Amino acid sequence: MKTIKVIFPLLGFCALLSLLPIGGKVRTDLWTSDFPDQNNYQFPDNFLWGAASAAQHIEHQQPSDWTSFERTVIAEGRTSTNPRPGYAIPGHINNLDAYPALVRLKKTNYDEMFDHDFSIAQTLGHNSHRFSISWARLFPRKGMVRPDKRGLAFYNEIFASLKAHNIQPLVSLFHFSTPDWFWEEKDGKRGWERDDAIHHFEMFVTAVVEAFGQHVSIWTTLNEPMTYVFNGYMEGIFPPLEQRDILGVAPVVAKLLEAHSRAYEIVHADASKRSKEVLVGIAKHTRAFEPLRTWAPLDRLSAATIDQAFIWDFLDAIQSGVMKLVNTDFELEIPQLKGTQDYVGINYYGRFYVESKLLDPTNPKIHFYDPKISDEVRSDLDWAIYPHGFYQVLVAAHKRYGKPIYVLENGLADLKGNDKRRQQFLVTHLREIWNAINHAGADIRGYMHWSFIDNFEWAEGFTARFGLIKTEYDSEFKRVPRPSAYLYQDIIRSNGISSEVWNSYHKPHMD
């Protein structure tokens, strides 16, 4: 009785609060945006159509921090799977020991098969391809001041093969893995926090642009810096496997911003020597953060805070030159950072729901899907699929910065043989790009699906399958295009989505 007496007024109070203009994020019931249907969704001329990958995902193991982690995990038997899909156990790589040593070493065997891969990409109509250059491959040993010749030769062949297949390269410089020696302690600091970290990164970037600058017009300095910081320094599921609080990670975020601004300058200096036009930016991981309970004002406010902290703080810092951390009084001016983004790179994977805790308001719970919606469409990692959120993120980025946008990642883990979810994902998300261009005036210039082939998915090991193309993990490493690869081919061929394609694939289902 006593509880009821307390709960009813509390619920009433919350209901009342939810009517007030308290702000924060609201939750929508839309799955896709509700603009009127078209006969044809035609994309701009010269739109870049491709897919993405990164070195540690696909290349033979190099002496990187991730390779060390992968080997330690095997040596120490840390390969347990969390019963909740999508939640890695800190210090473990999901089921890694189930894959043969050859697969762990060669990943997708891209080193021996990239030419074959690019010929498949060409047949499928791709005119562009995003990949990263491995810092550990160019600077495998401590103290090197010139890049490794074999490393350079490897990427020279990659660029030559892309050219031969008429595929434009989009290159990332940092995509989560770093040389292992970078983590040796120097003056009590490791990795990005070492005093010489920026100097080493500059050496790597300089070597890359000197060797390959003539081939590349679109550069990504950093891939998903906040994902890296969150997973590596807060959750402890990526190297360096640490668990700090938000202020504890501020020095790392500041270093990454500095690394970005230095790389921006080095790439531009090289391009102007070559009288070449380049676009330089970062790839930002975005999500639609929405309140789990729209009636709960604290959920709405927490969703807005997380949205700002996780998505916009980093991009805002590049735009203004001043790093701020939402809800803290942290403020730091980073020299030469202001305005160093020529485009905004968007990676988008779906909706997360934010549930605040009354007694612990600064530590809300994030749900990958809404437990109350039994038929919500989810990926194999349990991430809720939400095309309309993609539209919102693209439009927000456009309004905030007014820059060209490249979608550098968008995809889902889907191992089911019928590939229905991936096809539905592809069509619905591409239509949101069309909507953002045509209904909001966003200047979106390309789409890189994540990923081209199944690959090593970080703490999820080889279990999460993101590929348009299936990789068979045995000694042959055979590539088998999934139905979505052919659907994408049709879309690329017509440079748009026909109403037939839209009608066949847009309805939400969990097939």
Q: Which of 457, 468, 501, 505 binds ligand BGC (CB under 6 A)?
A: 457
Residue type, 247: L
Task: Find the binding residues for ligand BGC in span 52-81 (CB under 6 A).
Answer: 54
Would the CA dihedral through 116, 456, 208, 333 be positive or negative? positive
Residue 407, C-beta contacts closer than 8 angstroms, at least 6 positions apart: 345, 346, 347, 348, 394, 433, 444, 446, 447, 448
Nearer to ligand BGC, 41 or 458 (CB): 458
> Judged by CB under 6 A, which stretch of 24-32, 219-227, 241-249, 364-372 contacts ligand BGC?
219-227
Q: Which of 27, 92, 194, 285 binds ligand BGC (CB under 6 A)?
A: 285
Which pair of structure tokens corresponds to residue 64?
């990187």
> Judged by CB under 6 A, which stretch of 18-26, 115-123, 220-228, 478-486 contacts ligand BGC?
220-228
448 binds ligand BGC (CB under 6 A): no
Q: How far apart are CA 233 and CA 245, in angstroms?
A: 8
Q: Are residues 95 and 174 in contact, defined by beta-carbon separation less than 8 angstroms?
A: no
Nearer to ligand BGC, 299 or 457 (CB): 457
**How many residues lie near ligand BGC (CB under 6 A)?**
10
Which pair of structure tokens corresponds to residue 236?
């402890």
Q: Are residues 240 and 190 in contact, defined by beta-carbon separation less than 8 angstroms?
A: yes
Nearer to ligand BGC, 270 or 307 (CB): 307
Q: Which of 409, 419, 432, 454 binds ligand BGC (CB under 6 A)?
A: 409
Which pair of structure tokens corresponds to residue 251?
């020095």
Nearer to ligand BGC, 235 or 490 (CB): 235
What minimum distance in Å lies between the beta carbon of 227 and ligand BGC?
5
Residue 31, C-beta contacts closer than 8 angstroms, at least 6 positions apart: 377, 386, 387, 388, 428, 508
> Judged by CB under 6 A, which stretch of 108-116, 196-204, 222-230, 391-399 contacts ligand BGC?
222-230
Nearer to ligand BGC, 43 or 488 (CB): 488
How would you classify residue 195: left for phi > 0, otherwise alpha for psi between -120 and 50, otherwise beta? alpha
Residue type, 426: L
What is each CA distance from 241 to 69, 183, 223, in whole angstroms?
Answer: 9, 12, 18
Q: Alpha helices of 84-174 — where are they, by DSSP H?
A: 101-106, 110-123, 135-138, 149-164
227 binds ligand BGC (CB under 6 A): yes
Nearer to ligand BGC, 106 or 285 (CB): 285
Task: Find the binding residues for ligand BGC in span 119-178 (CB under 6 A).
Answer: none
What minimum distance in Å lies between the beta carbon of 458 and ligand BGC?
6
Parallel, antiparallel, or unpaired: how do β-strands 40-42 and 496-498 relate?
antiparallel
Task: Find the binding residues for ligand BGC in span 338-367 (CB under 6 A).
Answer: 347
378 binds ligand BGC (CB under 6 A): no
What minimum distance in Å lies between the beta carbon of 73 and ligand BGC?
17
Nearer to ligand BGC, 53 or 109 (CB): 53
450 binds ligand BGC (CB under 6 A): yes
Closest C-alpha to 44, from 307, 486, 455, 434: 434
Closest C-alpha to 453, from 86, 126, 99, 73: 126
Nearer to ligand BGC, 262 or 285 (CB): 285
Q: Which of 59, 70, 180, 224 binds ligand BGC (CB under 6 A)?
A: 224
* Angle, in degrees to the nearest 10, between helices 297-306 and 2-19: 60
What minimum distance in Å lies between the beta carbon of 172 and ligand BGC?
9
Interface residues with ligand BGC (CB under 6 A)? 54, 223-224, 227, 285, 347, 409, 450, 457, 466
